[in-house]
Structures are given as C-alpha cells and as structure tokens.
Amino acid sequence: MKAKETHTYSPDEKEYVIELKKKNYWWLLLFLLPLVLLIKLDKDVVFKTVDSVDNKPLQGTFVDLTFHERYLFNFSTFSFFSNDKIQRNDSTNEDGIVVFKDVSYSVFSMLFFATEDAYVTATNNCFSGDSISPRYHGLKHLDENILKLPERSFDLEFMVVDADDGEPLPEAEVVAISRSKTGKEQSWKKTTDVAGLIVLEGVPYCGEIELVGSKYGYDNDTIKNKVEYITGKIESGRTLRLKPIKTKIKFIVRDLKTKETIPNVVASLKIEGKTVSTLRTNTNGVGIGFFDDIRLLDEFTIMVQKAYYYDTTRTDKVDKFIKLDEKKRTIYMRPKKQNITFRNINAKTGKPIAGVKNEISINGSDRKEVEYSNSNGTFIISGVFGEDKISITASKSGYKPNSHTIRNGVFSDLLKGAQNKRDIPLEANPPPPPPPGPRKNCRVFFTGLVIGDEFVDKHISKIYRVDKYSEYVGAGEYPDNSVAFPKSVKTTFDGMAIDKETRVIIYSGKNFTGRVLLDKTGPAIINNIKWKDDPRYNKYNTKTYSSALQANFPQSVRSWSSSDMQKWSNGSVKVICGQ
C-alpha cells in the first residue's frame, strides 16, 4: 500500500499546485452509451403543395406522411427494438402548407436507420396526386418540403347529332372554351369526323366548359356545364343536338303550251324517295302550291298530276330552290292531247274573274270534271276531239251562275272561233240594300263622354245632340265597333242612349265573337261604371232631366255598365229594331 501524501499549509506561500492522481473512466462511457440511445426527440415537419405550372399554393390538398418510429426500448410497450409504422395526415391551409407537429424519432434510429425513407403523398380533387420518398431523418425541423401537383385533366369526347333523328353529323364545327377553377382558360376549334365525334385534349376536371356546335342547315346548339358533371356517358352530357332548319317551298304550275297557270293540280312531295306530303294547287286562279316544314338541306322531288296532262316532276335542293325567282320555280305540264281554253269574265266590265268553279260535262254524262279559272280568268279542257260536246256551268260567290253560254258546244266549232267566243260571262249579284239610317225608335246614341241632359265639353254629351264625341247608329250588324261608332271609340267609349223598341247586343270580339257584354232593349241610358263614384258624372244617372228627355229616359231606365265600357271598343255590335 502506498503511503498517503500530505501537504502543510504555509501562509507565506502565494501559490499551491494541487495535482490529482490520474484515473481511467472509459468504463463509465460504456455504461452511459445505452442510455443515450434511449433519448427521444421531436421535430415539426412542413410540406407545401403548389401548382406544377405556376407554383401557386394549393389549399385543401390532403397530405399523408408515413414513417417508422424505431426505439431501442419502447417504454410504452415495454419492448426492445420496437418498430412502429406511423401515419399522419392533414389538409393544407390557404398558403398550401401543412405542418405535422411533434414528429417523434430517437437517437437509436438516427444512428442505425439513418437512410430509412418516409413516404409522402399529396392528393387534391382538382389536381393529380404527387408523392416523394425523402429520408425520414433528412426532414429538418420547420423546413418546407415542396410537392408539385399537375392540374387534373381528361381527354373528353363529344358527339354532334341531328336533333330530329339522332344520326351523327360529320363536318360540324365545334368551338369550345374551358375555364378551370384556378382561372386558366383553354380553347379549341374542332370539326367532327364521319361518326360525328371530336376529342378535346387536356380538359381541366375542376372548372366549366362551354361548347357551341354549328353546321350549315342547322340551328346551333350549346353545352355549358361543370366538367365533373359530364364525365359520364357521352349521350347524357356530351352530345350536341343540332335542330335542322326547316322552311317553306313555293312553286307555280303552268300549261307548257299556253303558259297559263293551272289551278287544282295534285302535287306530291318526295324526299329520299318517300312521299311525305300531297296537296292541290290553290283554286283562286294563281296555281300556286306550298309545302311547309321541309329541311333546308333536303333534296326533294315534286310530282304534279292532272287529268289529260303528262305527269311532271321537278327535283332540286331546298336551299337552292327557295332562292330562285318565280319563273325558275315554275313547273310546266304538257297536255296529252288537243285542248281548248275558256275564260270567265265579268259580264259588265269584261274583266277576267279568277277562282271561278267550272263544272264540265263532255258528251253528257260520259265525262265530268271541275276546273277553276286562273288569274287570267282562263281554264283549259284537255283530251277532247272533233265532235265532242261540251257543257259548262260556271259559278262563284257574289255572281249569278252561268250554265247557258257553253251548252252542248261542239269542240271543233268552239276551237275555230276567237277566244271571245269561248268567254263565259258572269253577272255580279246586286249589292244588298244598305241598312236603314237611324230613326226614331230605331237608333242608338253612342258617345265618348258620359250621357246627360246638357253638353259639357270633354265631359258630358247631351242626348240627341251629335257632337265631336258622339254619333247615331241605326239598325244593322256591325262587325267592328271602331267602324260602327268611330268618334265614340276614338274619345274613349263611356256612354250610350238606346231608343224605345231598339235592342243592342255588344260582343267582346269582332265579327260577333267572344262574350256578350251587353244585351239591352231601350229605352235605356248606360254610363261607364268607371265614373260611378265621380261627383262630376254620377249625378246624371239620378237627376231630373228636362221634360222631353225626362219622359223618354226617367231615372228608372238609367244604369251603370257591368264593366269598363272603354274595353268594349274592340268588339262588335248588333242593333235590332222593332223589339
């Protein structure tokens, strides 16, 4: 055993040096090392999501962080060499940032698993996902780790069809504009293929799209919707249906030889070889026919037929035909055999009469037919021979029938004569006698003012005194009130006086149509109910008139209308006397 070292303190010594005896402490470090490996640490891990094109932050992106927590000894589970898979997730804020706070790790995992990766994914409804696999221990406290997400987009197919039959429309033009949720715009201009299809590339999923489809001969159609709503079946949200433009074609039929129009011709319209409509050219003398509701792009054929004429056809395209002048829209029919022309004229003036019905008999009852005169008053009989006998009865409303001019006329004789020898004159019926004018006990006094026993300009009309606001109307049927009593209507119809034994019926519509607004037999005075509570006017229905007027129109026959008389002006009226 070594002897102990001793030191004696002396106040005279200014300095002492104390030297400790060196010893080895390496065994202490070996004891502490396992304890260091047990140390648990925390860090805040930050991720930022941005648009891969313009680096703008993406709010609401779901970020998932997966990593392994490894401990030499896990005090929670009392186990050595623990390995727990940890998953943390959250959504980014308006700056595109998400922070995972207090992410745990240990010195043990730093030393022995330094190269182990974490797995990070970012998903957003409007953007395609992104993922990275950084070293877990390389994620520094509060350092931003960037995730770049490309905008989510699709190649979308659209179809253009005929709205009537659903058939695809090739060579239709489609113009499209998309506006993404981020404000980006994209446009396309496409032409459909033989199947009526187009493809728009890179359509943003989050946003709106608007397409306009067009094609000559069709009305445009538009689709405007959110892209996410139309990603299903093409028929439900991605089909443009163009409605065919339809129009009317007008044609004229004439005799090839005489160039006269031929009324009452049977015309058939064929489209794609199928007869779709049949009509007769009009009988008012102009020989015009109309076919409605025909597609602008259709090719059509019109066949015209009439007895003793050869069937004639005309084929054309609708869009070209409607641009032609009348001469080029004329269909000429060639008569089969010899024909003869007659003319209907006014017996007094000699002028031709169109639209006359001519009932024709040839050789008695052998052949009967009806022809109508054209705008020149003429009509043609075809397929007749030398000794054929012709009888014609001509008639038209407003004229006396004529059945004597052409009666058993021999064709050869009629053909030799001049045209005036084949004229059929019709004598006009005499006009009906005019209705008798207003007279005592057969008249109605209408006015645009209130009826009274004195005249007050702009306010009161005196019974039996015609002024600039009033007039008398006698017996008759008047289909338009504005013609029957024009001054009263012009100055707002407000009153009427009906003579004794005179009946008045007023209808709400012209030509005696609509509701019956008034059916009254005089004597009577009727003023507009609109003025019933106006002291300027209501006294005239109750005051005592001067003796002559009072005797004819006492208070007991004066009344207010059932409704506003000013609204009666648009109707019609009948005045009937002797009731």
pLDDT at 15: 57
Q: SS3 for 109?
A: helix
What pLDDT shows up at residue 248? 92
For 460, residues 6+ apart whose C-beta sits below 8 A from its C-beta are: 449, 450, 451, 452, 454, 537, 540
Do 344 and 394 contact (CB within 8 A), yes or no? yes
Q: Strand order in 389-395's β-sheet?
A: 367-372, 357-362, 389-395, 409-410
Residue that wins the pLDDT comparison between 486 and 19 = 486
* DSSP E strand boundaries for 52-184: 62-74, 79-91, 97-106, 119-124, 127-132, 144-149, 153-162, 173-180
Mean pLDDT, the chain, rounded, equals 88
Using CA atoms, how far apart are residues 286 and 118, in angstroms rounded to an integer? 92
Judge contact between 474 and 437, C-beta under 8 A: yes
Place 23 in a pLDDT band, splitting at 50, 70 and 90: low
Give 236-288 pLDDT, tens digit per residue. Answer: 789 999 999 999 999 999 988 888 888 888 999 999 889 999 998 876 667 78
Q: What one-character DSSP code corresponds to residue 374?
A: -
Q: For residue 472, what pLDDT is reported?
A: 92
**DSSP codes joined into one string, 393-414:** EEE-TTB--B-SSSSSEEHHHH
- Which residue from 100, 29, 38, 37 is spatially nearest to 67, judged by alpha carbons? 100
pLDDT greater than 60 at residue 6? no
Region 13-28: mean pLDDT is 56
**Residue 439 above 90 pLDDT?**
no
pLDDT tens string 307-356: 888 899 999 999 999 999 999 999 999 888 778 889 999 999 999 999 89
CATH code of domain 339-426: 2.60.40.1120
Report how far residue 198's alpha carbon sits from residue 5's, in angstroms, rounded to the nearest whole number. 105
Average pLDDT over residues 550-561: 93
The dotted CATH code for 153-242 is: 2.60.40.1120
pLDDT tens, position by position, 363-420:
987 889 898 988 889 888 888 888 889 999 999 988 999 999 999 998 888 888 788 8
- For residue 462, pLDDT beyond 50: yes
DSSP secondary structure letter of residue 86: E
The CATH-assigned architecture of domain 247-333 is: Sandwich (2.60)
pLDDT band at 2 (very low <50, low <70, confident <90, very high): very low
- pLDDT at residue 18 tops 70: no
- The pLDDT value recorded for residue 17 is 55
CATH architecture of 40-149: Sandwich (2.60)
Nearest to 289, CA basis, from 328, 250, 259: 250
Domain with CATH 2.60.40.10 in the chain: 247-333
CATH 2.60.20.10 domain residues, the chain: 444-577
The answer to whether the bond into 523 is cis (omega within 30° of 0) is yes
The dotted CATH code for 444-577 is 2.60.20.10
pLDDT at 507 (0 to 100): 95
The CATH 2.60.40.1120 domain(s) of the chain lie at 40-149, 153-242, 339-426
**What band does 1 get if pLDDT is binned at 50, 70 and 90?**
very low
pLDDT value at position 125?
86
Structure-token pair, residue 327: 């001469």
Q: Over 70: is that where the pLDDT of 568 sits?
A: yes
